[in-house]
């Protein structure tokens, strides 16, 4: 079931396992189809936040009325056009890492990339980036999926205490991606 080495929780750290988790064929799930034809499934119960653009933002659990300010885990799918035909997964991964760093530096926070590399998902080479934002006690697992004319980034964000809670469902979502002709 393990695709690559990298969910054991240590005393101060966590090793992320890249797994081949898939939705059961009888399982009900929501489906998101990007305007380009990129499609993924995600579990019922993950609430979609609707915005003005074609990005997908999911909140993975309901707000607890007793603790409304609790951090809520999210998954966000974004895409961008591939403008350089010589770009590859390595360059897309470097761009995702740089964007993560720049985003948090604007808030005077530093990110630490714990692991990054390549993984084959649905017969396509993809990249992954596992990072921590220590002062916020947040962890991120970012998957970069190159498509025919776009690159798709699916980012999972959770606290260091809740990171493993939705990891398997996140991998089900990742492994469900496909390209639909439009």
Q: In this model, does residue 80 exceed pLDDT 80? A: yes
3-state secondary structure of 103: helix
pLDDT at 15: 55
For residues 180 and 18, which has the higher predicted lDDT (pLDDT)? 180
pLDDT at 8: 42
Confidence of residue 18 (pLDDT cuts 50, 70, 90): low
DSSP secondary structure letter of residue 162: T
Q: In this model, does residue 120 exceed pLDDT 60? A: yes
The listed range with the strongest mean pLDDT (6-10, 27-31, 56-60, 70-74) is 56-60
DSSP secondary structure letter of residue 15: E
DSSP secondary structure letter of residue 177: -
Confidence of residue 2 (pLDDT cuts 50, 70, 90): very low
> What residue ranges define each of the domains in the chain, with the CATH number in brackets?
29-64+73-179 (3.40.1000.10)
3-state secondary structure of 137: coil
Average pLDDT value over all residues in the chain: 85
pLDDT at 57: 94
pLDDT tens digit string along 127-159? 999 999 988 999 999 999 999 889 999 999 999
In which residue are the tokens 């797994």 written? 19
């Amino acid at each position: 079931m393990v695709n690559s080495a990298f969910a054991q929780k240590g005393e101060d750290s966590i090793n992320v396992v890249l797994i081949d988790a898939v939705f059961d064929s009888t399982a009900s799930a929501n489906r998101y189809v990007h305007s380009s034809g990129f499609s993924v499934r995600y579990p019922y119960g993950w609430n979609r936040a609707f915005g003005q653009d074609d990005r997908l933002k999911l909140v993975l659990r309901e707000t607890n009325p007793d603790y409304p300010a609790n951090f809520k885990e999210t998954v966000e799918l974004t895409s961008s056009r591939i403008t350089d035909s010589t770009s590859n997964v390595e360059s897309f991964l470097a761009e995702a890492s740089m964007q993560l760093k720049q985003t948090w530096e604007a808030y005077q926070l530093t990110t630490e990339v714990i692991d990054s590399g390549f993984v084959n998902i649905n017969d396509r080479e993809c990249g992954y980036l596992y990072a921590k934002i220590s002062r916020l006690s947040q962890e991120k697992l970012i998957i970069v999926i190159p498509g025919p004319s776009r690159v798709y980034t699916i980012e999972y964000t959770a606290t260091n205490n809740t990171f493993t809670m939705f990891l398997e469902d996140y991998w089900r979502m990742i492994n469900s991606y496909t390209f639909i002709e439009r």
